[in-house]
Structure 1
Amino acid sequence: MRLRDLARLVRLPAALSVPGDTLAGAAAAGRLGGPGAWALPAASVCLYWAGMALNDYADREVDAVERPERPIPSGAVRPGEALAVAAGLTAAGVGVAAVAGGPRTAGTAAALAVTVWSYDLLLKPTPLAPLGMAAARGLDVLMGAGERPADAARPALALAAHTLGVTALSRGEVHGTRPCVAAGALSCTLAGAALAAVPARTASGRTARSTAERILAGALAGVFAVGVGAAQGRALTEPGAHQARSATGAGIRGMIPLQAALLARYGAVGAACALTVGAPVAARASKAVPVT
């Protein structure tokens, strides 16, 4: 298996949409500066890539008809290789979480891994698929909160809501979607933006945000809402497969400004600014390796 084929299998650039999950959870729980907080994004990336590899393994027969250019049906990757990659990355993700965050974080990572495998192997063909993917994204945020998952409930909800809409819309990437699905995805996007823009109480109890923090959180939430919402609006008026794919890609890349807005919301301005660098990088990289 060549490196380029492996990159296509795991949707390499899409991993840039993941590190902000645990960072947002850590910021909400007041542990962004704690030991291991900056190692947890590596666990998230491993589990995300595992899910992508497992996705292609589970969909190999359908992809042979609908997307023959994908790694497995094209013959670039054997099914057993994809399954081995998924298993290895899952073990690595849970292991990194255990070392970086301790038993509670390892437990959340294990629950996330079970959710990912359940989604790909069981839930994807069912109406519960969007809920399964939303649960996985929410758990990824909670993994960053460590021993204080309740403190990260709002960012977990924001990212889970957005993921719910993106996943529902992605089901129309081949045959087109429906206006009601696109409208629902747009509603989820706007809800996520609203949750990120409203000032929050931090784990230390501070409620008053500085003007700069409020402006940055609002601006990033606006960038997220406009960028993703515009693509979803086009899918609403033209619900064909092309617009559904475009809106799905925009929704995946839009995770980054949403995560950055949540970080700014909890006062982590430096981390928010650093994270925004990943958005244009993800957009450019997705032209070389598709993220959907």
Structure 2
Amino acid sequence: MTRLADLAELVRAPAALSVPGDVLAGAAAAGALGRRTPALAGASVLLYWAGMAANDWADRRLDAVERPERPIPSGRVRPATALGVAAGLTAAGLAVAGAAGGRRAAALAVPLAAAIWGYDLLAKNTAAGPAVMAACRGLDVLLGATGGRPVRAVPAALTVAAHTWTVTALSRREVSGADRRLPRATLAGTALVAATALGRADPVPAALAAGYATRYGSAQARVLADPSPERVRAAVGAGITGLPALQGALTARAGARLLGVAVAAAAPLGRRLARLVSPT
């Protein structure tokens, strides 16, 4: 029988700490923070986990060569089980989003789910891969904004999407290593992302954005010095576990300072849990 620990590894369970902040940042920007926000964040987590399971199902043959320790090629999770988990979590995420946010949330959740599956099954190994994954995160931010004025959340969505592009571009070189042009480009992108998260004369978003830039930027600088697969994987992990600090900065910039600090607090917790279950 498949163990719960193996399923947790399949869906990269701790990495889900990087997900609720998308919805919270979008809701804060759109003036939509309310009772439905936690449920929408839960729907977002379910869709994220679905995407992780679908990713491993789609990559099962490649992982048998490059990452045989993963749950499917190691025999700990059957391919049919992984596909069933992905489909079930997708259905659950869509159901929760519709129940919590009505038609407006469902109208965002459906294309979000389609983008997630489209990335895993079609776009991942193409030139469009980073852009499609960035779109997934941008739509996730807008999901949180559906109860207010979504147009106000567009800058936050673009900021999170840009960060996601840098992480996804690096992740494509986790096995082979990168040439130094890639970390130069992603470092420049990270600096721009951090700058857009700054609040006007507000120390809270500034401090959170600086923390994000320092930790993730340092990991990329190490790739620039040594573009080995190990350094690339570490930078990808830093990008995933460091995202809550960016989401917290965006949430605080929208006026929800205490909530922003709470969102950012998921970053150190995510780093601890990443020692137990890899987020990549």
Same fold (TM over 0.5): yes
Residue 85 in structure 1 maps to residue 73 in structure 2:
no
Q: Which stretch has the larger CA shift, 236-245 or 6-15?
A: 236-245
Runs of 4+ with deviation above 4 angstroms: none
| In structure 2, distance between residues paired with 1:194 and 1:110 | 31
**Identity between Structure 1 and Structure 2 (%):** 55
CA shift, 1:277, in A, is 2.3
> For 2:244, which of 256, 267, 270 is the aligned residue?
256
SS of aligned partner of 1:218 = helix
Alignment correspondent of 2:179? 178
Question: Are the counterparts in 1 of residues 16 and 45 from structure 2 also a CA contact under 8 Å?
Answer: yes
2:96 matches 1:96: yes
Task: Report 1:38-187 matches (<5 A).
Answer: 38-147=38-147, 148-187=149-188
Where do residues 236-275 of structure 1 align in structure 2 (5 Å cutoff)? 236-275=224-263
The whole-number CA distance in structure 2 between the counterparts of 1:115 and 1:290 is 23
Q: Which moved more, 1:235-244 or 1:64-73?
A: 235-244
Unaligned stretches of 5+ residues in structure 1: 200-210
Q: CA deviation at 1:274?
A: 1.5
- The residue identity in structure 1 corresponding to 2:126 is T
> Within 2, Cα distance between the matches of 1:11 and 1:189?
24
Residues of 1 paired with 2:85 and 2:100: CA distance?
A: 22
Instruction: Please point out which of 213, 223, 234 is paired with 1:225.
Output: 213
Q: Deviations over 1:61-99 (max 9, x none)?
A: 000000000000000000010000000111111111111
Q: What's the CA shift for 1:35?
A: 3.4
Provide the rounded CA distance (Å) in 1 between the counterparts of 2:164 and 2:275. Answer: 22
Which runs of no fewer than 5 residues in structure 2 stay unpaired?
Answer: none
Report the Cα offset of residue 195 of structure 1.
Answer: 1.1
Name the TM-score, length of structure 2 as normaliser.
0.97
Please list the CA deviations of residues 26-83 of structure 1 after superposition, one character each: whole Å capped at 9, or x if unmatched.
0000011x33012111011000000000000000000000000000000000001000
Whole-Å Cα distance in 1 between the matches of residues 219 and 35 of structure 2?
Answer: 39
Match of 2:8 in 1: 7
Aligned-residue offset at 1:179: 1.1
Distance in 2, Cα, partners of 1:36 & 1:12: 23
Q: 1:198: how far off?
A: 3.6
Distance 1:149 1:89 in 2: 25
- The residue identity in structure 2 corresponding to 1:218 is A
Distance in 1 between residues matched to 2:214 and 2:244, nearest whole Å: 13
How far, CA to CA, are the matches of 1:181 and 1:110 in structure 2? Answer: 32
Q: Give the Cα–Cα distance (whole angstroms) in 1 for the partners of residues 106 and 226 of structure 2.
A: 43
Shift of 1:182: 1.1
| RMSD, aligned CA | 1.0
Q: Secondary structure at the match of 1:178?
A: coil
Q: CA deviation at 1:3?
A: 0.4
Amino acid at match of 1:169: L
Cα distance in 2 for residues equivalent to 1:81 and 1:290: 20
What is the CA–CA distance in structure 1 between the aligned matches of 2:232 and 2:193, rounded to whole Å?
20
Partner of 1:287, secondary structure, is coil
Offset at 1:272?
Answer: 1.2
Q: Does 1:25 align with 2:13?
A: no
Structure 1 Cα separation of the partners of residues 193 and 100 of structure 2: 28
CA distance in 2, matches of 1:115, 1:48: 11
Among 242, 264, 289, the residue aligned to 2:277: 289
SS in 2 for 1:239: coil
Q: Name the structure 2 match of 1:207.
A: none
Amino acid corresponding to residue 221 of structure 1 in structure 2: A
Question: What is the DSSP-based 3-state SS (H/G/I as helix, E as strand, rest coil) of the residue aligned with 2:197?
Answer: helix
Q: How far 1:190 moved relative to its partner?
A: 1.3
CA separation in 2, counterparts of 1:59 and 1:185?
25
Q: Could you tell me how far apart the structure 2 residues matched to 1:118 and 1:8 are? A: 22
Residues 88-130 of structure 1: CA deviation (Å, up to 9, x unaligned)? 1111111111111110111101110000000000001101100
